[in-house]
Amino acid sequence: MVGSKALPASQLCRRYNLEALGFTDTSELEDLREPLGQDRAVEAIRFGIGVRHQGFNLFAFGPSGSGKTEIIRRYLEPEAAAKPVPDDWCYVNNFTTPDHPKMLRLPAGRAKDLARQMENLTAEVRVVISAAYESEDYRTRLDVIVEQFKLKQEEAFENLHKKAGEKNVAIVRTPMGLALAPSREGKVLNPEAFSKLPTEEQEQVKKDISELEVDLQAVVRMLPELEREQRREIVKLNREVTSFTVDHLIDEIREKWRDCTAVLVFFDEVQDYIINHSDVFRLSKDEAAETIPARMAADFLMQQERVIGNCQVNVLISHKADGGAPIVYEDNPTVENLLGRIEHRSEFGSLVTDFRLIKPGALHQANGGYLILDARRLVFQPYAWETLKRELRSREIRVETLSQMMSLGSMVTLQPEPIPLDIKVILIGDPTLYYLLSQNDHDFNNLFKVPVDFDDRVPVTDEAISLYAQFIATEARKKQLMPLHRSAVEQVMERMTRLTSDTERLSSHTRSLSDLLSEADYWAASRSAPRIEAQDVKHAVKAHIHRSDRMRERTQEQFQRGTMMLDTSDAKVGQINGLSVLQLGDFAFGRPSRITARVHLGRGRVIDIEREVELGGPLHSKGVLILSNFLAARYTNNRPLSLNASLVFEQSYGGVDGDSASSTELYALLSALSNTPIKQSLAVTGSVNQFGEVQAIGGVNEKIEGFFDLCNFRGLTGDQGVLIPESNVKHLMLKDEVVAAAEKGQFHIYSVTSIDQGIEILTGIQAGELDAAGNYPPESVNGRVKARLEVFAESARQYVKSGGEDKMSGAGDG
Amino acid sequence: MAEPSSRKYRRVLLQIDAATLCQDTVGAAVEIAARLGGELHGLFIEDTDLVAVGELEFIHEFRLSSPTAHPLDLLTLESQLRAMARSVRRQLERAGNRQKVTIGFRSVRGDTWRTEEETSNDADLVIIESTGRLHSRTYRGHRTNRRSAVANLCPTLLLKGGKRLTSFVTVICDSVEAAKLGVRTVTTLLGVKPENITLLPYALNDQECQELREIIEQFAEETMKTAEGRTQIKIGPNVAEDGARVMRFLSPDDCVVVLKTGGIFLENPAHLESLIVSRHPLLFVQ
């Protein structure tokens, strides 16, 4: 067992050979029709788009850059084109309650016609009304009314005048009204003349005036009523004239809208409104400026603009009659961008609004079709998520501002009539968000019943390889890149396999592929090549890594300069080379670490120093706790585990997490217990379970390459290598340098399935198997460990006997 | 009619008092002054009769805005008159600013007919509001105004309810001189086009009627030289001495009627009375 063989170079990396596909470069390959490896997602999209019941909205999730939006659009567009065009939507004035504008639903493509017709109508109405009021006929009829009422007034006053005259009383016009005064020969008597009259006559005059005042009061009282009556008659005349003028204009366009009852009702309302506001239509802007004082003219023009505007139509949404159902992608899903908004304009320092300032949102635009939203942006926008859910639940669009929703502010605004909502919403996000919403938001599962789960990897099969070549060809053409030579395609596939860290999978991550192709195209172009060759792809990969690996180089430098202590030769007890991965953005690299273990008499605790100082994560702690149970179960039989062991990542000043070092720590512990030195030319990765089986870990390639780089710098000796779990062999996609070194026997990758297998490679000593009597061979590693633990157990027993239990308890706790 | 008028109407006087204040009148007066390129002087007359009324203890005022009996004392009346004078001045200035007319204003106490001579010396044209109708606040004024209109020594325009003047004019020709004077005044003062002028002969003999026709022909020939070409003044039927018939030939019913003071038509007060109570604005020429 000690002579375990390293993995052959062929197992360290998957190479692709596409010769059998029979193409020279990608220009010979056809486009890929279906998305690669997204069968589940495609099936979900087809179902989600097809089912029309409420709540069957889609949530597409998968890794960022996996081409979700593009794939969804590819299936959505033909479906939308085949659907009927949704209706047009308008808002019109509510003539009864203007702050509740009415919605108007029109057949597709006709809203703009209506708006244009109403604009023409109002312009024409102004002309014809103005002409009607200027006509001789109207003026004559108006004069008749005015004269009639003047005559009534005069008649009343003439009677009074006559009566007063008979009694020598004059009616005098004062600045504010009328008065009765004594007169003689048409001239008012002054106080002096009046006092000269006989007393009886004076009294008689006073009496007469007193009596006449009753009549005068009655006449004066009658004046406002006469004026009101006159105004009523004039209004009646105006209505009659306006109605006669306007009716035929509205009737003309009414004919064109016979099929739309709602429009006919609107016409009726407009007709009434124009008749009731004929005064406003009478004057043109120029006439108003001429005939009305400047300040009043401004008010009048504003009122005129408002009244004319009230007869117009705010086209919220208008579709082309042959356009199919809309597909809308809202990039910035704020509440306003979703629901629409009510704008205001400034009038003399005040903010005012009306139905014409209602603007549509994405929900309006996508109504009757599909709305695509970025889920993460949606939930990050204040109230946007809740708003969308509310609209989907109620199936209507209610234009509201945030301040209205939150009951903030008291500015006068509108409450437009809600518009019925028939929409399919497609959210695009990442899996974390999907599962979070699914678990924590009760509405979510009712409203987004169709998960569309995008995968970013495809199993490597002969068919998949062929399709993948087409996938590459399609992407290259889509981005208008040079064609790729077959060897370049092979290189691309290798790189895409490496990205999955699995030799049996190819990454279908569109953005990564696309970026790699673009970069390779750049390098090919820079050497004026007609197509992309393998060297361009390799160059692109190298350059990409180089751009990102400053931190990796800095870390390597620490080891090379001896700042970080790590041996790559000799053998030491209780010391081993572990491997970890550092992830910086989208770049990961391996970093070797020295792990040491010390043991002494104690109460069966393995102390994880990282955890004690809160630098270790829960997974790391879990791995360490497994070790103590492994030791106790394997070596101590019915005795207590009487040791204290401490484990530490030397010179580690950041956090440590994951259980990938648990097997490494166990090797260190076994070395310390058995006093057997471990070869420092080897590094180890892999987790371990309570039975001593070595389990798979992540980032195996980066870890191996991290240790290789250090060894390579110090000089490959042929003894150096890495122990990895057997189950990670299929994940090996090592870089060319490592593979070449392995081929030359300068660097070795060992795969192990158990701790025993690993310790033999690390120490060169047999692990030792349990015999029938339950003992290990004394010189084996296991035998030495067991013996050492038995010594600890006996020492502990003696110590307790001598009354040192309390001390030991204290020591153990410490 | 042959010689062109050299008369310039530069000074326009608007007589107004508590009974005749009317915003439309102010507007119409300013418009006329603007067309003539002259100045407008407002003359607000505090009527002595009105002051006398305020001195009587038992007089009540019935305001149009509140028809209950309000005791009318002198103090109240004085303050009302002053407020009204300020209001007239404001209205004149505002309208004058708009039309770019120079405005003058003064307030006097007394009867209009006592200042006739002074007024005539001070003005080329006098405008008086007078309709005899309550709504235009002339109820008390109509009697005094008709007297001053006839007696004035300069052209006097009697407005009715402050209406804009129509472009149609009828000149009552009780003499050939009245026709000449009337045509000359309306063309220069009101800017009326010849085709809108109608001469209405009143009690003229055949020779005088012939002279009228000659005047019309002469005027038509003169207009041939202008850019607009030949235009002709109309002539109505010769109305006999029955003044009431004159009213039937006045068309349209709000046309301006031009009368010469001192002529035979105005010798009969009934003729003037029927014109005064009509809707026609009246222009008295001397």
pLDDT number for residue B119: 59
pLDDT tens for residues A85-118? 999 999 999 999 989 999 999 999 899 999 999 9
pLDDT class of A292 with cuts at 50, 70, 90: low
From chain A, the residues in CB contact with B81 under 8 A are: 175
- The verdict on A148 and A253 lying in the same domain is yes
- Cβ–Cβ of B61/A177 closer than 8 Å? yes
A438 assigned to some structural domain: yes
A224 and A193, same domain (yes or no): yes
For residue B260, the enclosing domain spans: 169-285
Per-residue pLDDT of A50-69, as tens digits, reads: 888 889 999 999 988 888 99
What is the per-residue pLDDT for A619? 77
Are B62 and A220 an interchain contact pair (Cβ–Cβ within 8 Å)?
yes
Task: Determine contact, residues A687/A697, Cβ cutoff 8 Å.
Answer: yes
| % of residues, chain B, pLDDT over 70 | 77
Question: CA nearest A249: which of A138, A135, A128, A137?
Answer: A128
Q: What percent of chain A has pLDDT over 70?
A: 96
Using one digit for the tens of pLDDT, what is the confidence trace for A125-160? 888 888 888 888 888 888 888 878 878 887 888 888
Whether A600 and A656 map to the same domain: the answer is: yes
CA distances to A45, A365, A427 from A448, rounded to whole Å, are 12, 20, 9
Number of C-beta neighbours around residue A174 at 10 A: 27
For residue B229, pLDDT over 80 is answered with no
Any domain includes B164: no
Chain B residues with beta carbon closer than 8 angstroms to that of A190? 52, 55
Residue A623: predicted pLDDT: 75
The confidence score (pLDDT) of residue A483 equals 95
- CATH number where A681 lies: 3.30.230.10
Please tell me whether residues B174 and B132 are part of one structural domain.
Answer: no
Instruction: Kindly tell me if the per-residue pLDDT of A814 is higher than 50.
Output: no
**Can you tell me the distance from the alpha carbon of B32 to that of B158, in angstroms, rounded to the nearest whole number?**
13
Q: Using CA atoms, how far apart are residues A198 and A628, in angstroms rounded to an integer?
A: 140
The CATH number covering residue A536 comes to 1.10.8.60
pLDDT of residue B231: 75
Are both A624 and A641 inside the same structural domain? yes
Looking at A102, A679, A703, A786, which residue is catalytic? A703
Query: What is the C-alpha to C-alpha distance for residues A555 and A564, in angstroms, rounded to an integer?
Result: 9
Same domain assignment for residues A784 and A753: yes
**Tens of pLDDT, residues A294-304:** 667 777 778 88
pLDDT at B135: 35
CATH of residue B229's domain is 3.40.50
Which residue type is seen at A13? C
Q: With beta carbons under 8 A apart, name residues in chain A contacting B76.
A: none
Q: Would you state the pLDDT for residue A808?
A: 54
pLDDT value for A43? 93
| Radius of gyration of chain A, Cα coordinates, nearest whole angstrom | 47
Residue B117 contacts A, CB cutoff 8 Å: no
Based on the fold, state whether residues A419 and A475 are members of the same structural domain. no
B252: cis peptide before it, omega within 30°? yes
CA-to-CA dists, residue A331 to A325, A384, A509, A803, angstroms? 19, 13, 22, 76
Specify if A46 maps to a domain: no
> Is there a domain that residue B270 lies in?
yes
Task: Look at residue B148 in the predicted model and tell me its pLDDT.
Answer: 58
- The pLDDT score that the predictor gives to residue B188 is 80
Does residue A49 fall inside a structural domain? no
Q: Which domain holds residue A603?
A: 554-766+776-806
Look at residue B269 and tell me if it is in a domain. Answer: yes
Q: State whether B56 and A181 contact (CB < 8 Å).
A: yes
Q: Backbone phi, then psi, for B79, in 5-degree steps?
A: -65, -35
The domain boundary residue, chosen from A309, A344, A359? A309
In the predicted model, is pLDDT for residue B116 greater than 60? no
Q: What is the DSSP letter of A506?
A: E
**DSSP state at residue B278:** S
Picking from B53, B69, B141, the nearest residue to A181 by CB comes out as B53
Residue A812's pLDDT is what?
A: 44
Q: Is residue A668 part of a domain?
A: yes
Question: Band of the pLDDT at B36, cuts 50, 70, 90?
Answer: confident
pLDDT at B152: 64
At B138-158, the pLDDT tens digits run 333 444 455 556 666 678 888
Domain termination residue (choose one: B140, B159, B178): B159
Does a structural domain hold residue A282? Answer: yes
Question: Do B204 and B149 sit in the same domain of this protein?
Answer: no
- Torsion (CA) B195, B199, B205, B211 in degrees, nearest 10: -40
Nearest neighbour of A190 by CB, restricted to B21, B52, B63: B52
- Residue A448 sits in a domain whose CATH number is 3.40.50.300
Q: What is the 3-state secondary structure (H, E, C) of A561-620?
A: CCCCCCCCCCEEECEEEEEEEEEECCEEEEEEEEEEEEEEECCCEEEEHHHHCCCECHHH
**Could you say which residues from 36 to 95 on chain B have a Cβ atom under 8 Å away from some Cβ of chain A?**
49-50, 52-53, 55-56, 58-65, 67-70, 72, 77, 80-81, 83-84, 94
Nearest beta carbon to residue A217 from set B52, B69, B135: B69
Residue B102 clears pLDDT 50, i.e. is over it: yes
* Residue at token pair 């607000």: B44
- Residue A178 pairs in a beta bridge with A173, B62
Judged against a pLDDT cut of 60, whether residue A313 lies above it is answered with yes
Per-residue pLDDT at B238: 83
Does residue B5 form part of some domain? Answer: no
Cα A693 from Cα A219, distance rounded (Å): 118
Residues A542 and A631 in one domain: no
For tokens 């009716």, the residue is: A247
Q: Give me the residue from A153, A186, A217 closest to B135, CB to CB.
A: A153
Report d(CA B235, CA B232) in Å as an integer. Answer: 9
Domain count across chain A: 4
Task: State the CATH number of the domain containing residue B129.
Answer: 3.40.50.620
Are residues A644 and A607 both part of a single domain? yes
**A759 vs A754: CA distance, rounded Å:** 9
Q: Out of A548, A574, A589, pick the residue that ends a domain.
A: A548
Are residue A271 and residue A288 in the same domain, yes or no? yes
Q: Tell how strand A682-684 and strand A721-725 pair up.
A: parallel
Tell me whether residue B33 is in a domain. yes
- In this model, does residue A562 exceed pLDDT 90? no
Annotated active-site residue A660? The verdict is: yes
pLDDT band at B161 (very low <50, low <70, confident <90, very high): low
Decide if pLDDT at B113 tops 50.
no
Position B145 in a domain:
yes
| A614 and A473 fall within a common domain | no
- CA distances in angstroms from A530 to A25, A526, A706, listed in the order given: 11, 11, 36
With contacts defined as CB-CB under 8 Å, which chain A residues touch B84? 175
Q: Where would I find the H helices in B108-189?
A: 116-122, 141-151, 176-185
Within a domain: B232: yes
Give tens-digit pLDDT for A12-53.
999 999 999 999 999 999 988 888 888 899 999 999 998 888
Who wins on pLDDT, A186 or A465?
Answer: A465
Give me the residues paired with residue B172 across strands: B200
Domain presence at residue A675 = yes
pLDDT exceeds cutoff 70 at A316: yes
Q: Does A186 touch chain B (CB under 8 A)?
A: yes
With contacts defined as CB-CB under 8 Å, which chain B residues touch A157?
A: 134, 139
pLDDT of amino acid A429: 94
**Residue A336: how many other CB atoms lie within 10 Å:** 20
Of B101, B132, B159, which residue sits at a domain end? Answer: B159
Q: Is residue A40 part of a domain?
A: no
B194 vs A550: CA distance, rounded Å: 102
Distance from CA of B74 to the nearest CA of A (A): 12
The answer, yes or no, to whether residue A203 has pLDDT greater than 60, is yes
> What letter represents residue B61's amino acid?
E
B91 and B154 co-located in one domain:
yes
Residue numbers of B between 136 and 195 with CB closer than 8 Å to A: 137-141, 143
Q: What is the pLDDT of residue A289?
A: 64
| Interface contact B22, partner A, CB < 8 A | no
Q: Range with the lowest mean pLDDT among A204-218, A640-654, B199-213?
A: A640-654
Q: Out of B159, B187, B218, pick the residue that ends a domain.
A: B159
Domain membership of residue B2 (yes or no) is: no
Question: pLDDT grade, residue B213 (50/70/90)?
Answer: confident
- Mean pLDDT for A204-212 is 90
pLDDT for residue B70 is more than 50: yes
At residue B170, the 3 state secondary structure works out as strand
pLDDT at A689 over 70: yes
ipTM above 0.90? no
What percentage of chain A exceeds 90 in pLDDT? 50
| Residue scoring higher pLDDT (A164 or A685) | A685
Chain B: residue whose CA lies nearest to A190: B52
Same-domain pairing of A694 and A558: yes
Domain final position from A309, A330, A345: A309
Return the closest-CA partner of residue A541 out of A478, A494, A597, A574. A494
- Return the SS3 of A547: helix
Res A2 pLDDT > 60: no
- Please state, in angstroms and as integers, the Cα–Cα distance from residue B81 to each residue in B14, B16, B54, B64, following that order: 17, 12, 11, 16
Structure tokens at A442: 């009760």
Token readout for A92 is 């019109």
Residue A620 lies in a domain: yes
| Total count of domains within chain B | 2
Same structural domain, A664 and A781: yes
Kindly state whether residues B40 and B148 are assigned to the same domain. Answer: yes
pLDDT, position A813: 43
Q: What is the mean pLDDT of residues B195-207?
A: 87
| From A278, A501, A660, A674, the catalytic residue | A660
- pLDDT beyond 70 at B279: yes
Query: Distance between CA A509 and CA A472 in Å, rounded?
Result: 11
Nearest to A176 among B53, B61, B141 (CB): B61
Q: Answer whether B67 sits within 8 Å of A217, measured CB to CB.
A: yes
Q: In this predicted structure, which of A406-415, B133-142, B180-189 has the lowest mean pLDDT?
A: B133-142
Beta bridge partners of residue B201, listed in sequence order: B173
Q: Considering chain A, what is the average pLDDT of its residues?
A: 88
Q: What confidence tens digit (pLDDT) does each residue in A396-405 have?
A: 999 987 777 7
